[in-house]
Amino acid sequence: MTEDQPHRPARTDHTAAVERALAALDLDTKARLLSGQDMWTLPAVPEIGLRPLVMSDGPVGVRGREWSAEDPSVALPNPTALAATWDPELACRTGRLLAQEARRKGVHMVLAPTVNLHRSPLGGRHFECCSEDPWLTGVIGTGYVRGVQEGGVGATVKHFVGNDAETERLTVDNRIAPRPLRELYLAPFEHIVADAHPWGVMTAYNQVNGVPMTEHRHLVGEVLRGEWGFDGCNISDWTAARDTVRALRGGLDVAMPGPRTVYGAPLAEAVRAGEVTEAEVDDAVRRVLLLAARTGCLEGVPAAVDPAEVPRHIDGRALAREVARRSFVLLRNEPVAEGRRALPLDAAAVRRIAVIGAGAREARILGGGSATVFPDRVVPPLEGLRAALPDHVEVTFAAGADPHGRIPHARRGFALRARYLAADGQLLAEKPQFDGRVQVMGHFPEGVTRHNLGAVELTGSYTPERTGSHTFGVAGTGELRLTVDGAVLFEGRCVPEGQDPFEAFLNPVERRVAATLTAGESVQVTLRFEPLGREPGAGVDALRFGLGHREPQGDPDAEIEDAVRAAATADVAIVVVGTTEEVESEGFDRTDLRLPGRQDELVTRVAAVNPHTVVVVNAGSPVELPWRTDVPAVLLSWFPGQEGGAALADVLLGAHEPGGRLPTTWPARLRDAPVTTVTPEGGQLTYSEGVFMGYRGWQAAATAPAYPFGHGLGYTDWEYESLDTTPDSVRVRVRNAGDRPGREVVQIYLAPTADAAPDAPERPERWLVGCAVVEAGPGESAETEIPLPDRAFAVWDEAAEGEGVHGGWRRVKGVYTVEAAHSIADRRLTAEVTVG
Ligand code: BGC
């Protein structure tokens, strides 16, 4: 069977197998089964043939049980990039690749996709979510989950629900009215449950309307399971479960990570004390056993997917490159000479290209946080371009401005190993190090336990390439001592200010020191670390500390001057600008949308000397581009994954079109956006904009964004020829009016007219109800039929009577305009439809 022939898992009936296994378990074992046994695994019960079930983070790759560069994974573009393809089939293929990666690493459950919404551009994990639109998020999430599960691996749709920002994420109470909750934030989960039947959902840290999501009986029990029929397993976000009885009553099946959680022994005790019944525990255990059966962890029971049926080998590098170029959004492409647009570049006519920006050499390929994976190779833009350009083209490089606040992990010139020591100094284990980051999240090396570990020493040699003042960064949560060439440069305790243990883990405090070193003269470097016991989760095997290093720096003004000089003498200047891990990661939100450091100044200076300046924006979420009309081309490359540089060369040189369309509006300035704060007040964050979020809000705003929802240019032009519609579907015909083959994302919006029912609540001007990706050669036409879902015409009405629930969907009758569009601001054809 081939990569393109999907195998939809049959919905095997595992009921008998599950009941048989359940009947063989005693109360203590059942309670234990609902709790992680470590960071990533559910316990095995050999007596019933139950193997350990392993979970691992996505969404851009599958890390596996180890959190380190020594166990590499394919790194795909970030989820916003995937959503920018507007292509559920491509999302499905990425899911299949992730299933293949999971199988290779012994993982049964991928902790992805992340389908919270882009409520505000300040959201710290914006890059890890798909879109501001619930429908687009829903179709991309559906494709992704189908792909993962066709490979016999479970998907865990997260974070249910309302984890749309990170500030105070462990405790914040998001106040969301029923209508936006249903029409926006719950909608992608509902869509994916209906169309892809995920085997798992992860409940979020936050509260919604006063109830923690790990205890939310209404949203989990009544809505997710009751109304939508979700039959999978409900797994807590890591450390999010806080109360044994309330969690079980709230429908939480598994508390992660272990070994100490509110389930396990405390749950068995709660049953014995009569606080909950064993029957309630049984319900949760059934769902864990069903998950085990589906993923092949229950011996003698056929898994949902026969391993022999799993698609043949998928080439991860090729797919990462394809998704990247299909996701790049060409925001602007103006003529530079004789009517020729800035992109694609004509390599035959170019003699010298100045590549500028720190991110062109040190690629930022993914966002930070739990989504981090470690690929076995990375193609930076500079390398990708050099490999693709013909020999006659000279490529120069100048960093111009380095946006990094933190010191990068020590790597070039270092030969390091980590020595795990007992309190008395005895060596317990020794591991070679890929770079200066020592990280354990799940399993200590053989011979090391939480109890016998006293300290870790990162030690080895460093051979400088340059003479001068070298900066070392010391980071971690604990006691740290750095010795370079026999001199103690740092000794002290580093403790984070905030309370979020994951943030302390992912973004530890950094201290800097300097040493004057001589080129070619090796020095001995040792960083000793004693942990403080602030790991995420009680009793889990986790530690992280690191050594950073930066070579002697030039004068920042001189660096910019060098870049400007290089640009002035080149035919084309390509400037790569972007955000850093201090700006986009997990556990905190952004405070503004500016590019860090002096990057804006760099672009302005380069553009002033070279009229053919192409800016590549390497960011996962919106940034302000104050110079955007001063340059002829702006290409958004997102966090493009490991093959990003190769994909960039494909697109800049015209081997392929940039295929992406914005899945989220890009503001010119933060203050214009519909939601400009994500900081709770008194522990509460009120979604006061109601349903007017994202483009739904922008349409009512006085200011236009920099780039509207759905925007993105290709290398050909499209004529929209015809549009026919019924209340059930739309047929659109488009013609490729350019001179090269191309791909168009046909977007369908629905706008209520003045004749729509007068009793309808206030609705946005228009909303996305469908899309299709079509391809055509020059001069050719393509036709596509796009279904109009029932829900497109409905509003959530609290007064309506649902089945046993408060409120229901109400179809709003009347006359609507159906619009076929290139973007929400570029609507080409319209037709009216009357809905009765
Ligand atoms: C994140 C989850 C992730 C989990 C395990 C949490 O901090 O919110 O998205 O799956 O950690 O790494």
Q: Is 624 in the pocket of ligand 1 (CB under 6 A)?
A: no
Query: What Å distances lie between residue 190 and 141, 142, 145, 800, 805, CA to CA?
Result: 11, 10, 13, 19, 16
Kindly give the distance from the C-alpha atom of residue 76 to the centroid of ligand 1, in angstroms, as a whole number.
18
Say how far apart CA 206 and CA 169 lie, in whole Å. Answer: 6
- 87, 173, 237, 402: the catalytic one is 237
β-strand 352-356 against 394-398: which pairing, if any? parallel
243 catalytic residue (yes or no): no
Rounded CA separation 38/536 (Å):
12
Is the C-beta atom of 370 inside 6 A of ligand 1?
A: yes
What is the identity of the amino acid at 481?
Answer: R
Question: What is the four-CA torsion angle of 244, 245, 248, 254, rounded to 10 degrees?
Answer: 0
Query: Ligand 1, residues 107, 125, 234, 237: which to mutate, most atoms within 8 A of Cβ?
Result: 237
Q: What is the pLDDT of residues 654-706, one digit of tens each?
A: 999 999 999 999 999 999 999 999 999 999 999 999 999 999 999 998 899 99
Tell whether ligand 1 has an atom less than 6 A from the beta carbon of residue 305: no
Q: What span, in angstroms and rounded, lies between the C-alpha atoms of 518 and 13? A: 69
- Nearest residue (CA) to ligand 1, atom 2: 237
- Classify residue 713 by its DSSP letter: B
In the reported structure, the alpha carbon of residue 586 is separated from the centroid of ligand 1 by a whole-number distance in angstroms of 9
Task: Pick the closest to residue 454 from 387, 371, 543, 388 (CA basis).
Answer: 543
Q: Which residue has the tokens 């919404």?
A: 117
Report the residue among 60, 201, 236, 370 best suited for mutation to probe ligand 1: largest number of ligand atoms under 8 A from its CB. Answer: 370
Distance 363 CA to ligand 1 centre (A): 24
State if residue 128 touches ligand 1 by the CB under 6 angstroms criterion.
no
For ligand 1, atom 3, the nearest C-alpha belongs to 370
Beta strands 718-725 and 340-341: pairing type? unpaired
| CA torsion, ordered 786, 788, 792, 794, to nearest 10 deg | -170
| Ligand 1 atom 11, closest CA | 238
- Full DSSP string of 596-659: STTHHHHHHHHHHH-SSEEEEEE-SS----TTGGGSSEEEE--S--TTHHHHHHHHHTTSS---
Residues 6 or more apart in contact with residue 126 via CB below 8 angstroms:
80, 118, 584, 620, 621, 622, 664
Give the model's pLDDT for residue 8: 58
Q: Any idea of the CA torsion for 12, 16, 17, 18, to the nearest 10 degrees?
A: 100
**Nearest-CA neighbor of 110 among 165, 152, 68?**
152
Q: Which atom of ligand 1 is least distant from the CA of 57?
A: 10
494 pocket-lining for ligand 1 (C-beta < 6 Å): no
Nearest-angstrom CA–CA distance, 149 and 297: 15
Pocket of ligand 1 contains residue 111 by CB under 6 Å: yes
93 lines ligand 1 (CB under 6 A): no
What is the CA(225)–ligand 1 centre distance, in A? 23
Give the residue ranges of the chain where pLDDT is below 70.
1-11, 499, 501, 533-538, 801-805
Q: What is the DSSP letter of 371?
A: G
417 neighbors 433 (Cβ within 8 angstroms): yes
Instruction: Tell me which residue has tokens 């992660």.
Output: 256
Tell the residue nearest (CA) to atom 4 of ligand 1. Answer: 238
Residue ID of nearest Cα to ligand 1 atom 9: 370
CB-based burial label for 815 (10 Å; 0-12, 13-18, 19+): middle
| SS3 letters across 588-602 | CCCCCCCCCCCHHHH
Model confidence pLDDT, tens digit, residues 474-508? 999 889 999 999 999 999 998 877 767 677 777 78
Nearest by Cα to 439 from 368, 390, 384, 521: 368
Domains and CATH numbers, the chain: 5-305 (3.20.20.300), 319-402+555-664 (3.40.50.1700), 414-550 (2.60.120.380), 716-835 (2.60.40.10)
Burial of 176 (C-beta count, 10 Å sphere; 0-12/13-18/19+): buried
**Structure tokens belonging to residue 625:** 């581009």
Mind giving me the DSSP string for 501-532? HHHHHHS--EEEEEEEE-TT--EEEEEEEEE-
61 Cα–ligand 1 center, Å: 14
pLDDT at residue 2 in the model: 43
Rg of the chain over all Cα atoms, to the nearest angstrom: 27
DSSP label at residue 308: G
Q: For the chain, give the number of residues.
A: 836
Say how many Å lie between the CA of residue 237 and the centre of ligand 1.
6
Q: Is the CB of 256 under 6 A from ligand 1?
A: no
Q: Which of 56, 67, 111 to mutate to test the pocket of ligand 1 (most atoms within 8 A of CB)?
A: 111
CA distance 228 to 189: 10
- Rounded CA gap, 566 and 579, in Å? 23
Q: 515 CB contacts (<8 Å, ≥6 apart)?
A: 469, 470, 472, 484, 485, 487, 489, 523
The verdict on the CB of residue 505 being under 6 Å from ligand 1 is: no
- Residue 256 Cα to ligand 1 midpoint, Å, equals 10
Strands (E), 638-717: 684-686
Is the minimum distance from the CB of 774 to ligand 1 under 6 angstroms?
Answer: no
Of 644, 168, 582, 744, the closest CA to residue 375 belongs to 644
- Measure 238 CA to ligand 1 centroid, in angstroms: 6
What are the percentages of helix, strand and coil residues in the chain, rounded to 5? 25, 30, 45
Is beta strand 523-531 parallel, antiparallel or unpaired with respect to 455-462?
antiparallel
